[in-house]
Chain A
Amino acid sequence: MDLENNTMEAIEKIGNTPDKLIEVLIQCQSLNQQNYITEEQLNLISKGLNIPLSKAYGVASFYSMLSTSKKGKYVIQVCNSGPCYVNNSKTIAKAFQDALGISLGEVTADGLFSLEYTSCFGGCQIAPAVKINDMVYGNLTEEKVWQLVDSLRKEAV
């Protein structure tokens, strides 16, 4: 119910015209602990902004920063573009998989973490880099990955 009210509030604040779609989507995703836009939210957005649901879904599924399926509280995005790739981003991704016990594209059972590849977010000078929610971490090694996961687990408690 809260999510519904907050979604409506966000639409009202940002504006209820079709051109506000992306802004509204970003804001609505941030309202959700699981970092995604729920079907109920998308329905409200579609009605509120007078956009067909298919189009709202099309836009939400187009951008990698938006999600239409459940993610973790911490969304771990491993950069897979050129500079990170040649600096062993694959090893980093593997380390996260081992540390979290999930594969790419999955969410941990406790809902804390989700793991995915992303394209460049501008951390090339500290490659290999990852983005976790709004924070960027670079110069990663396998060991640093385990430490990072550990500290986030503690932070969450």
Chain B
Amino acid sequence: MDKISIIIDGKKVSVPPDTTILEAARKTQINIPTLCYHPDQNVKGNCRVCIVEIAGANGFAAACCTTVKEGMEIKTNTIRIREARQMVLNLILANHNSQCLSCKRNGNCELQTLSQELNIEEEFLDKVVDLLPIDQSNFSIVRDQTKCIKCGRCIEVCNDVQGVGAIYNVNRSCDMKIAPAYEKGLSEVPCVYCGQCINVCPVGAIYEKEDTKEVWRALEDPNKHVVVQIAPAVRVVLGEEFGMETGSIVTGKIVSFLKRIGFDKVFDTNFTADLTIIEEGNELLHRIKSGGKLPMLTSCSPGWIRYIEFFYPELLQHLSTCKSPQQMFGALVKSYYAEKMGLKPEDIVVVSIMPCTAKKTEAKREEMHLNDYYDVDIVITTRELAKMVRESRIQLRELEEEDFDVPLGLSTGAAAVFGATGGVMEAALRTVYEVVTGDELDKIDFKNLRGIAGFKEATIPVGDLDVNVAVANGLKNAKILLDLIKEGKANYHFIEIMCCPGGCIGGGGQPIPATNSIKEKRIEAIYQVDLQSELRKSHQNPAIKELYEEFLIEPLGEKSHKLLHTHYIDRSKNNKDKRD
């Protein structure tokens, strides 16, 4: 199609039809300010910060939702526009609780940055901030409506990306707010706690429930033996919080930091990711041989588990009974490790560092404890780890790299890839192939299962059997597969589902922003970790072999069932979480 010629700030530009003024301007390095606009979402046009002047038109036009027309003359930065933008921002600020110093997003807030860029010198309008209660009804996510600027990004991600619909617009006009039905707490509605709303929020209206104080307290308690585990997706992302390039791998520095602040042992969730592969792989083979429920669905992602429990309880039997790596780790520390070290489980505190807000609630599930002790005691997110680094005043960049402690710190590259969508499947196939055929797998990179696409599938010959697998990330994609299973049309043996788009590297506890282009770099880093690993197949992990020899005896054995497997709950009738 013919290009359209326009003039932006005196510069002649040719762009395809249907280009918005915002896109056209950005192509010419003219950076129009935005607030409600998000690169991975639909255009909303509700904040009006991106207004520009069009020659011959009355008033202003919003650049994000106005398409160019032949011969348009646009001005993006005149005194009149700057003053109008300041007014728009002042109207938003009048309705915003601007206590920046104590805000979770202080220093990383789009509204704060914009106020600086637009040179707001004074909030000259009267404040009209409703004193609404802060929703702290659950273990994962906190909502503070006094900070909400009603951009609607959280609604889009919750409804259109995740297909959950826990929140929506309530009321009209100046009474409009974003809330669950009947303005209930998140714990009273089918929220899966994925935290994707947090990642797209431009301000501090939604954030994780912070648990760093509990960690500091445990570390200073002389009677406690405190161990920590780090999820695969944390090590390739934390650096972003400290100005490092996206995709920087900081595993050794995190280990070093955690040792410095006093953890007795620094272990790795990757160890139990390897273990998950052994248990889950054997479960799959058992189901195939014995005519069990297929396709089998992965069970590592707690947001996904809540989703199927709420919306497809009739398919719960398809879920692998394996606990997630986080929970397997906790269960083993309080049994195997405690025995080995001669410690009482009640004297051990297990801390998890996760890319995920749903993990906080997973750790508090009633099934997730043995005797009186929860498998995992405290869960913090990558963002909270960054806070602890800052609080400690230790310079992450300057730390020497250190290795994880043994034995629960040993892992393979197969475990590392758990952090990206498709990773669990790839890791499982590497092991299942060799266990079944007894042959060594030459091509261990399953490249067609990699990447950020929402849905992927493949058929892999394993001995006499062609194993059909599928991989989905983002719950709306999961829903498509679940509907197929319901209709009996899902001809797969094994399906990996990750709640968050891109997998755990895009989790709700990860540094903000987390746009698709950032996620792609994080995924590259995950596979880099895999490539750099000496061993790249879970069943080769010597510490896992030792664990079976010394303790578990065999996969799916009695001890495994007690410690490493779990069951699920139909939440379709009663949304409420039981709180202790």
Q: Is the CB of A57 within 8 A of B172?
A: no
- Does B337 touch A at the CB level, under 8 Å? no
Stretch at the interface among B160-168, B363-371, B390-398: B160-168
Stretch at the interface among A48-56, A73-81, A82-90, A108-116: A48-56
Which residue in chain B gives the minimum CB-CB distance to A42?
Answer: B181
Contact of B168 among A39, A42, A52 (CB under 8 A): A52
What is the bound-complex CA distance between A62 and B168, given in angstroms? 11
* Contact residues in A for B43 (Cβ distance below 8 Å): none
Q: Is the CB of A61 within 8 A of B171?
A: yes
* Contact residues in A for B180 (Cβ distance below 8 Å): 54
Contact of A61 among B164, B165, B172 (CB under 8 A): B172
Whether A62 touches B171, Cβ cut-off 8 Å, given contacts A53-B189, A55-B159, A55-B165, is yes
* Contact residues in A for B189 (Cβ distance below 8 Å): 53-54
Q: Is the CB of B159 within 8 A of A58?
A: no
Starting from the known contacts A54-B168, A63-B172, 13 additional A-B residue pairs (CB-CB under 8 Å) come to: A39-B182, A42-B181, A52-B166, A53-B165, A54-B165, A54-B181, A56-B181, A57-B168, A57-B170, A57-B182, A58-B181, A62-B169, A64-B172
- Does A32 touch B at the CB level, under 8 Å? no
Chain A interface bracket (under 10, 10 to 19, 20 to 34, 35 or more): 10 to 19
* Contact residues in A for B181 (Cβ distance below 8 Å): 42, 53-54, 56-58
The CB with the most chain A CB atoms within 10 A, among B164, B168, B181, B189, is that of B181
What is the bound-complex CA distance between A63 and B181, given in angstroms? 15
* Contact residues in B for A62 (Cβ distance below 8 Å): 169, 171-172
- Does A68 touch B at the CB level, under 8 Å? yes
Interface positions, chain B 140-178, Cβ under 8 Å from A, are: 159, 164-172
Q: Is the CB of B182 within 8 A of A55?
A: no
* Contact residues in A for B166 (Cβ distance below 8 Å): 52, 54
What is the bound-complex CA distance between A63 and B159, given in angstroms? 21
Which residue in chain A gives the minimum CB-CB distance to B164?
Answer: A52
* Contact residues in B for A68 (Cβ distance below 8 Å): 182
Interchain Cβ contacts under 8 Å between A and B, 19 examples: A42-B181, A52-B164, A52-B165, A52-B168, A53-B165, A54-B166, A54-B167, A54-B168, A54-B180, A54-B181, A54-B189, A55-B159, A55-B165, A55-B168, A56-B181, A58-B169, A58-B170, A61-B171, A62-B171
Whether A58 touches B168, Cβ cut-off 8 Å, given contacts A52-B159, A53-B189, is yes
* Shortest distance from the beta carbon of A97 to any chain B beta carbon, whole Å: 21
Interface positions, chain A 30-54, Cβ under 8 Å from B, are: 39, 42, 51-54
* Shortest distance from the beta carbon of A63 to any chain B beta carbon, whole Å: 8
* Shortest distance from the beta carbon of A16 to any chain B beta carbon, whole Å: 17
* Shortest distance from the beta carbon of A52 to any chain B beta carbon, whole Å: 3
* Shortest distance from the beta carbon of A116 to any chain B beta carbon, whole Å: 13
Tally of chain B residues near chain A (CB < 8 A)? 15
* Shortest distance from the beta carbon of B172 to any chain A beta carbon, whole Å: 5
* Contact residues in A for B171 (Cβ distance below 8 Å): 61-62
* Contact residues in A for B168 (Cβ distance below 8 Å): 52, 54-55, 57-58
What is the bound-complex CA distance between A67 and B181, given in angstroms? 13
Which residue in chain B gives the minimum CB-CB distance to A55?
Answer: B168
What is the bound-complex CA distance between A56 and B182, given in angstroms? 10
What is the bound-complex CA distance between A51 and B164, given in angstroms? 10
* Contact residues in A for B170 (Cβ distance below 8 Å): 57-58, 61
* Contact residues in B for A63 (Cβ distance below 8 Å): 172
What is the bound-complex CA distance between A56 and B70, given in angstroms? 42
Q: Mark B184-226, 1 if CB is under 8 A from A, else 0.
A: 0000010000000000000000000000000000000000000
What is the bound-complex CA distance between A61 and B165, given in angstroms? 16
* Shortest distance from the beta carbon of A48 to any chain B beta carbon, whole Å: 15
What is the bound-complex CA distance between A57 and B181, given in angstroms? 5
* Shortest distance from the beta carbon of A31 to any chain B beta carbon, whole Å: 20
* Contact residues in A for B169 (Cβ distance below 8 Å): 58, 62
* Shortest distance from the beta carbon of B168 to any chain A beta carbon, whole Å: 4
* Contact residues in B for A56 (Cβ distance below 8 Å): 181
Closest 9 CB pairs of A and B: A52-B165, A57-B181, A58-B168, A54-B168, A53-B181, A54-B181, A58-B169, A55-B168, A62-B172
* Shortest distance from the beta carbon of B318 to any chain A beta carbon, whole Å: 22
What is the bound-complex CA distance between A51 and B179, given in angstroms? 16
* Contact residues in B for A58 (Cβ distance below 8 Å): 168-170, 181
The CB with the most chain B CB atoms within 10 A, among A52, A54, A55, A62, is that of A54
What is the bound-complex CA distance between A53 and B189, given in angstroms? 9
* Contact residues in A for B164 (Cβ distance below 8 Å): 52
What is the bound-complex CA distance between A64 and B172, given in angstroms? 9
Interface positions, chain B 115-161, Cβ under 8 Å from A, are: 159
* Contact residues in B for A42 (Cβ distance below 8 Å): 181
* Shortest distance from the beta carbon of B463 to any chain A beta carbon, whole Å: 43
Which residue in chain B gives the minimum CB-CB distance to A54?
Answer: B168
* Contact residues in A for B159 (Cβ distance below 8 Å): 52, 55
